[in-house]
Amino acid sequence: MKIAKTCLATLALSLPTNSWSQGLVPTMEREFEFCEERPAEPEWMQNLHVREAQKRLTVQYIYRFQSAERVIEAGECACSTRFPEWETAVQHFNDNYLGGDRNDLREATADFQRRYNELRPQARDICEREGHW
């Protein structure tokens, strides 16, 4: 216990003093600079057992990819275009990856991450013009 207190004190002293005075305290609240009415992830994704965490990550990357794809296809970045409900991503996951093992899910996640990263610059340009990035 004494070692833990010493480590904590050392960490606190090593941080710049102005970060404490600026009130930089982590929060679990959902605060966004734009599109504040974003739909929350489905509750089942937030409550997955740690051994199933790859499922959540796969759905998240499917969602990001689909979002970038929609923005580019529409040529605009309305909040509802960039942040739709999660049903389409969840359905795609259920139709294609639900029975997959961890390796299948890792491969799918990597694929959607790669595809999202390819579309991201174009989607970002569109969204930056509208102040939604």
Is residue 81 within 8 Å of residue 71, measured between CB atoms? yes
- What's the mean pLDDT in 103-127? 97
Other CB atoms within 10 Å distance of the CB of residue 104: 14
- Span of 20-24, 63-67, 101-105, 126-130 with lowest mean pLDDT: 20-24
Distance between alpha carbon 45 and the CA centroid of its chain, in Å?
12
Q: How confident is the model at residue 3 (pLDDT cuts 50, 70, 90)?
A: low
Residue 110 has pLDDT above 50, yes or no: yes
Number of H helices, E strands in the chain: 7, 0
Residue 10 has pLDDT above 50, yes or no: no
Structure-model confidence comparison of residues 27 and 102, the more confident one:
102
Phi-psi region of 9 (alpha: psi -120 to 50; beta: other; left: phi over 0): alpha
Structure-model confidence comparison of residues 111 and 12, the more confident one:
111
Cα dihedral angle (90, 91, 92, 97), rounded to 10 degrees? 80
CA atoms within a 13 Å half-sphere pointing along the CA-CB vector of 12 = 8
- What's the mean pLDDT in 110-118? 98
Two structure tokens written together for 94: 């259920």
Go through the chain and tell me how many residues it has: 133
Q: Encode pLDDT of 59-83 as tens digits.
A: 999 999 999 999 999 999 999 999 9
Element housing 9 (H / E): helix 2-14
Q: Encode pLDDT of 13-65 as tens digits.
A: 444 444 444 555 555 556 778 888 899 999 999 999 998 999 999 999 999 99
Q: How far is residue 85 from each of residues 30, 41, 124, measured CA to CA in Å?
A: 16, 9, 20
